Structure 1
């Protein structure tokens, strides 16, 4: 299993990155590569094409329905319907309650996206895992102003397919029991860090700081922490320094194109 950071800007696209989007791939026993995208925020469809054909995706998993995590679903629907090679069958989309209506809203009710013609939407159910080829996705409710989920993705190790590894993606959340469940024994915790200690202390129930992301990684004994979703108005080095005050493991800042084999 491997992770490719497609976009990692927080809350809106930055000058050097699209908004949140992460490609997870794994090969099955027959050598077929399975591809799942975690979120597809503003501007992410463009760079996604650097890493493969968006028409070949096996599933899209949406953590929540804010635009910086779902906006490019509208143009993905256009690509899938109007490409010269012909329209594609519906793509599996996993998301919170309200996903169908949100896609319709984003697309202006263009039938390329808002009907079942291009997207076959399934609603996340806490505690129910979803299988996509060799990958298992487990949604975990987290704390955010709208219904939101983190996702634990389990699959074969890149180095040893007989060994199972886990990627935990926080989505958008503050510290909560769900975040701790995601981080527990994860090989990699991909955690947002949109807020800054001191500056944003009065804003709770929305986002993590670097320190709170580090604390979750430490409590869960995650083996690696990657910080993401840092807005353009923040200094990423601050998030990194905060995380290191709470977590003494391997901490990395996400950047577009970052590829991590698990």
Structure 2
């Protein structure tokens, strides 16, 4: 597995940095796009052909999904790189209506994008505890890859995502979430934890509750999960990336890096 960061700015795109978008190239040649915020599609065109990507959504806040209607245009109508097959779309159950309205022609319409994507809602455990792996934990397949989700803590239907490749590599993406034990459980033993650190070094107590994580909380989750590498992402243009690093390193003694546009990560190597 190889991940290219298309954009990692939190809450909105920043100067020279698209909002959330992460391209995964799997060992069997399949390509999976995790989130597609404003500016991510433009960066995808630099790195790969948008006509042949599967789509995975952590949640549907604008900074994680607003380039999707344009991806539909590309895959339907591009003269040389239109989609030649239906790709898989994994996401919240609200996706067909929410994004169908975003790409429709009138307020009353919902664009049916099943000509391009096979929409599959996340199969995630419910309840207070997440135990991973377990016989009851059912994942999803895209090619040879296996994907798993767990509920995040965020105002809209949101998920933590684990991707395991046939080559044995693994990556966990927090999406947007407040601190939750689900994250360490899903990330157990993963090669890479790509974790948001919106609040910088620590939560100052004045931020909206049940929304995001700090660098300290990301470090705590990484340590509890025993991951190989922690990569901090989703820091807004006005945020404190160096503070996020300090906070994470206070609790996690493994490698900690800041996500950056065009950064390439190879989990397990």
User: How far is 1:200 from its partner?
Assistant: 4.7
TM-score normalized with structure 2 length: 0.88
Q: Is 2:178 the partner of 1:183?
A: no
Q: Is 2:30 the partner of 1:65?
A: no
User: How far is 1:195 from its partner?
Assistant: 1.1
Query: Is the 1:173–1:179 Cα contact (8 Å) retained in structure 2?
Result: no
SS in 2 for 1:172: coil
Q: 1:254 to 1:87 in 2, by over 3 A?
A: closer
The residue that corresponds to 1:219 in the other structure is: 224
The residue that corresponds to 2:70 in the other structure is: 75
The residue that corresponds to 1:38 in the other structure is: 34
Superposition map of 1:1-262 within 5 A:
1-28=1-28, 33-57=29-53, 59-85=54-80, 87-88=82-83, 89-109=85-105, 114-126=112-124, 127-156=137-166, 161=167, 164-196=168-200, 197-262=202-267
Structure 1 regions of 5+ residues with no counterpart? none
For 1:52 and 1:100, locate their aligned partners in 2 and report how far apart those are by CA, in whole Å: 25
SS in 1 for 2:19: coil
TM-score normalized with structure 1 length: 0.90
Provide Cα deviations, 1:211-241, integer angstroms capped at 9, x if missing partner.
1000000111111100000000112111111
For 2:87 and 2:142, locate their aligned partners in 1 and report how far apart those are by CA, in whole Å: 12
Which of structure 1's runs of 4+ aligned residues deviate more than 4 A?
109-113
For 1:87 and 1:247, locate their aligned partners in 2 and report how far apart those are by CA, in whole Å: 44
User: How far is 1:85 from its partner?
Assistant: 3.2
Query: Is the 1:9–1:19 Cα contact (8 Å) retained in structure 2?
Result: yes
Query: Is the 1:74–1:113 Cα contact (8 Å) retained in structure 2?
Result: no
Query: Is the 1:113–1:119 Cα contact (8 Å) retained in structure 2?
Result: no
Aligned Cα RMSD in Å? 1.8
For 2:102 and 2:55, locate their aligned partners in 1 and report how far apart those are by CA, in whole Å: 16
Matched length: 251
Query: Is the 2:90–2:121 Cα contact (8 Å) retained in structure 1?
Result: yes
Provide Cα deviations, 1:138-165, integer angstroms capped at 9, x if missing partner.
1111111111111100014xxxx4xx12
Query: Is the 2:123–2:138 Cα contact (8 Å) retained in structure 1?
Result: yes
